[in-house]
Amino acid sequence: MDLTSDSFVFIWLGWFGVSLAGLVIWFYRSRGGRRAFQGAPEQRHRLGGLDVLFVVMVYFVTLSIRELFLRGEDLESAGYLDKAYLGLLAGQLCAAGVIIYVGRRRFAGGLGGFGLSLKRPGRTMGQTVVYFVMVSGLTLITLQVTLLICKAVGFEEVQKHETLQRLMDHPPWRSTALLVVTAVIGAPLMEELLFRGIIQTYLIRFFGGTVGPMKPTSLYGTDEVWANPAAGYRWLGILITGVLFATTHADWQHQPALLVLGVCLGYIYERRRNLLIPILVHGLFNLIPVLGVLAGG
């Protein structure tokens, strides 16, 4: 399958055009982002610096396990590949489980307050499709512009993501399946729970302070709770989290696009208070290059 054929180029251009048009409409309706969070649901939590430090440590332990498994001397062995990818997936799911536990304990309303609610699945899926079209289009546009700039300055080599490179090596089908699951399910689940669910939420409160009157709740007693911080504080937290998200990925050529992806996913979570949407959008976005490699594009 040739993903650069005329028919596919037409699809790409149409996709990019829809994304850019949607961005212009959003920019106008939100008054440049100043009204982007009007009507957003409130979120109450008691996340502390130690909570964030703990989940970040769990995340880096998972990354260390990943490097340990994927740098083994027997990586060319089919049996070792299966064990390596299975260990990577187990690490991702364990890290996600730890973060979910922290979210259930620290957010008012438990998992629902954290953004992991299964209510209104139809609405969640509909919003996921719309956001996926918009976010993936803007991210891929950024990637193409970055590659064009690299080419213009004489750097024509295109960096390949490690996961995609391993898929290009045509591993056995079991290893391929495990690798795809880690890229499309494990990584988006773990990263969205960490970056959007924990880090972004904490940073917005850190910069914005406490907004609103004293609101006693069964979770906090008479403590003051965070309700609706100003849009500027929200964008600051979203941007910093997006930078952290992009820099944790080693390929510098992809980092501008990943910054756009991270900011868009952060906006979705802050606007909808539904972590399932950025998790699904992130997973679908990762699926695009995976399907391209598997299709031989």
Collapsing DSSP states into helix, strand and coil, what is residue 31?
Answer: coil
CA 12 to CA 20: how far, in whole Å?
12
The reported pLDDT for the residue numbered 222 is 39
CA 186 to CA 170: how far, in whole Å?
21
227, pLDDT greater than 70 = no
Given a contact cutoff of 8 angstroms between Cβ atoms, the answer to whether 241 and 199 are in contact is: yes
Place 102 in a pLDDT band, splitting at 50, 70 and 90. very high
CA 5 to CA 67: how far, in whole Å?
37
CA 87 to CA 75: how far, in whole Å?
13
**End-to-end CA separation in angstroms for the chain:** 6
Measured CA distances, 56 to 102, 162, 198, 208 (Å): 12, 22, 9, 22
Place 219 in a pLDDT band, splitting at 50, 70 and 90. very low
Collapsing DSSP states into helix, strand and coil, what is residue 286?
Answer: helix
70, pLDDT greater than 50 = yes
Given a contact cutoff of 8 angstroms between Cβ atoms, the answer to whether 141 and 16 are in contact is: yes
CA 173 to CA 3: how far, in whole Å?
23
> pTM to 2 decimals?
0.90
The reported pLDDT for the residue numbered 218 is 40
Q: Identity (one letter) of the amino acid at 48?
A: G
Question: Two tokens at 2?
Answer: 């040739």
Residues of the chain above pLDDT 70, percent? 87
Least confident of 66-70, 125-129, 209-213, 235-239: 209-213
Place 106 in a pLDDT band, splitting at 50, 70 and 90. very high
